[in-house]
Chain A
Amino acid sequence: MTSNPAKAVQPKSFAFTAENLARAQKIIARYPQGRQASAVLPLLDLAQRQAGGWLPLAAMDHVAGILEMASIRVYEVATFYSMFNLEPVGRYLVQVCTTTPCWLCGSEAVAKACEDTLGIRFGETTPDGLFTLKEVECLGACVNAPMVQINDDYYEDLDADRVRAVLQALKAGTKPKPGSQTGRQTSAPAGAPTTLTAAKGAGGS
């Protein structure tokens, strides 16, 4: 089922701040005259950031007005992409990947650790409004599985303890370093290099 707009408490109005409006104009200018509807995705993203991580109806109508589209065309786009939240979310949106590679590498434990640390289940928000927990499909970081996405950052190479540490740090008001939590460089081999070990200067076989 599509989310029901009647379920969320909808703010009465929404308008871009002057700063965001200038940004919106800049985005619209990227597209040819008469094709301004192409800017709907970046503008919705802008609106979602301004509205605190979710898209109220008023924000979608506002974007529709700016782009001279029918409101329903904006609703179609917003409901299609899972990155648009149509109900309010916490300050930190924790998206746990549970697709096959992450699952094989232990995402179940990561998910359970999240639920236990935050005291909420998937799809819920903590009473202090700090965290929303969501189960998502593959986020494309399988080399560093298992992983979670918190707002715009990826936290990778997790296990129960590491994700607990990340969440606790966020609770405490600090921001842990994004990326691999085991200290490896991006997606380089987890231990030492296993191939091309003699590559330095030797010129291979």
Chain B
Amino acid sequence: MPKLVIDGREIEVPAGVTVLQACEAAGVEVPRFCYHERLSIAGNCRMCLVEMEKSPKPIASCAMPAADGMVIRTDSPMAKKARKGVMEFLLINHPLDCPICDQGGECDLQDQAMAYGFDRSRYIENKRAVEDKEFGPLVKTSMTRCIHCTRCIRFATEVAGVEDLGATGRGEHMEVGTYVEKALASEMSGNIIDLCPVGALTSKPYAFTARPWELRKTESVDVMDAIGSNIRVDARGNEVMRVLPRLNEDINEEWISDKTRFACDGLKRQRLDRPYVRRRGKLVEATWPEAFGAIAEAVKDLSGEKIAAIVGDQCDAESMVVLKDLVAQLGSPNVDCRQDRAKLDASCRAGYLFNTTIAGIESADVALLIGTDPRREAAIVNTRLRKRHRMGGFAVGVIGPHNDLTYKYDYLGGGGQTLVELANGRHGFAEKLKAAKRPMLILGQGALARPDGAAVLGVARKLAESFGMVRGADHASGAWNGFNVLHTAAARVGGLDLGLVPGPKGRDVAGILDGAEAGDIKVVFLLAADEINTKRLGKAFVIYQGHHGDSGAQRADVILPGAAYTEKNGTYVNTEGRVQHGYAAISPPGDAREDWKILRALSERLGFKPAYDSLKQVRARLNEVSPTFGRPDAIVPSAWGQFGQAQSQVQPQPFLSTVVNFYMTDPIGRASVTMAKCTQAFVLKSAGKTGTDG
């Protein structure tokens, strides 16, 4: 534990930290451009120069290890002069285009120039100009502004795992780019926009639309995948302008995926902003009472088993619990939240959670991926797996899709046969699992959303138990739970926690669709459920409540306009079982309302007396149904138990990932122009198809 003196104050820091980190620990701010705590140290911007006693020259504090007895001064004339010199050099070739630069107002160079800049230029020669690069539909470049901090290069190489960016040329001719022109084929590429300390890399969809000081910032939670990335929604008026990441070490660190960041333009298109009722085959605009009246008419005198409800992938827990109560009051056992037909067992919580937790991946030593492509299904989890891989001593085995995951893995096989072999210890990888101290497995929806899903779940449980992946009762006593289910839908764990699965003699999604086709189910309530085959709903009376005019709304007989995730205060449970609250950044468009309020009003119209009138009361009801809702942001360890069917046969067909197109997995993404451009640039291009292939 080295002790050093910083600006006259003695401080003790852990061994191995740098002088810059020691300064931060002492509460002294050191300006920097290239240094970033999550990237390797480059030491090339020289902005963090400080004076060190016995050193004739100022030192770059980001690259200097803190040592015992060092005397550091960050505010001495020498340090200040050194920084002013560095700033002057940086500004020599930096254009004075702040008024037309999108980084203006949130630019590190601009801010630090206020402290260390000179009020005029001594440079009279021509400034250097650099050709802009084409990085694809997400990242806009103005390379003349680049100050060569290399953060983007280090991010692409280290975190994203797509080694496309580099610095070519040297000296004055150095340029950051890909050398051969290509778009950044990473699902994390948007993060380089945040990392760029100047306006060289900015957001293409957001270009020239707003200034940071005009925006209202709301801290919320993402619903584009099941990770629950912490985000900040920036809105101006009643329009979401952009989505940025918010620091959460346990989940997304400070990254978000491109879908989380850029799909927000889909919130402005294809919106349902008023109720609709189908009259003579055509959907016509209606008032709320008319829409409720049509529903009341449809369910009148209908027995419970003829009514069914399917819950979508992005629903908040509040609306789900109100729907659950409504369906129960209608006497229907037919309710399901597993649109993808994954054979998940709601009775044992540990059987459908990512028990290891995302941060826990870092302490695992062997990972087995079954029927999942984490890079497309949950980019943040994949980033964490890559982070663990870079620490060394980490073996990954894959059964299922054979895709580039940005780290090396052993490909064990495609389907059920390999899984059964491995579970019985008759596969080479079993040795690695046996030798592992903290083995984990990640079970994807691709392995569960098939007819033999319950058997796969059972085999996975057996595998986890036989290889010692589940030990101890609680995390505190060195316990380890390496059994993980990776969800793709933000609402899934919340739905399972609330027990939105068929009751006794109830039908699941497949059963509901069969019933509707056969005419046994007369009324189907779709709560933002769009990922089902709506053609199979037959002649049933379909009520669709949601925010986008997607496949569900097209088939509907009554449309109830709901709110998207940026427009309501909602509770979401991520794949780890972590309960998080999202907050409304703007209000829903037109006549649309928060979803739980719609359902509550509908319950009342149908003659039931809901026991809640406020968000607080609904949340109390959530807590009553599942006590885990009472502990937001925390991980509540779940008891291990029996789940899945170990007896029945696993089919040999290969496991396929449920996510084919990373950019379009939900109604918001499908309505987004940016996501359509990404699909064109990354998905269709790499598959050798064009958009006209249909």
Contact = CB atoms under 8 A, between A and B. Distances in A.
Partners in one complex: yes
Nearest to A81: B170
Interface stretch (A71-79, A98-106, A191-199): A71-79
Greatest chain A CB density within 10 A among B164, B168, B178 is at B168
A2 interface: yes
A1 interface: yes
A95 B141 CA distance: 36
A71 B130 CA distance: 22
A118 to B, nearest CB: 26
B166 A76 contact: yes
Contacts of B178: 72
A62 to B, nearest CB: 14
A57 interface: yes
Interface in A52-73: 57, 70-73
Interface in B201-216: none
A195 B53 CA distance: 48
Contacts of A75: 166, 168, 179-180
A1 B172 CA distance: 8
Interface residues of A, number: 14
A1 B175 contact: yes
A1 B179 contact: no
B694 interface: no
Contact of A80 (B130, B131, B170, B180): B170
A73 B173 CA distance: 17
A76 B181 CA distance: 14
A59 B644 CA distance: 54
Contact of A1 (B130, B165, B181): B130
B180 A5 contact: yes
- Secondary structure dominating the interface of B: loop
A2 B180 contact: no
A181 to B, nearest CB: 32
Interface in A1-52: 1-3, 5-6
Interface in B163-192: 163-170, 173-175, 178-181
Contact of A2 (B164, B165, B175): B175
B198 to A, nearest CB: 20
B597 to A, nearest CB: 53
B173 A72 contact: no
A136 to B, nearest CB: 14
Interface of B: 130-131, 157, 163-170, 173-175, 178-181
18 contacts: A1-B130, A1-B175, A2-B168, A2-B174, A2-B179, A5-B180, A70-B164, A72-B165, A72-B178, A73-B163, A73-B166, A75-B168, A76-B167, A76-B168, A79-B168, A79-B169, A79-B179, A80-B168
Interface of A: 1-3, 5-6, 57, 70-73, 75-76, 79-80
Given A2-B168, A79-B168, A80-B168, 17 more contacts: A1-B131, A1-B173, A2-B179, A3-B169, A5-B180, A6-B181, A70-B157, A70-B164, A72-B163, A72-B164, A72-B166, A73-B163, A73-B166, A75-B179, A75-B180, A76-B168, A80-B169
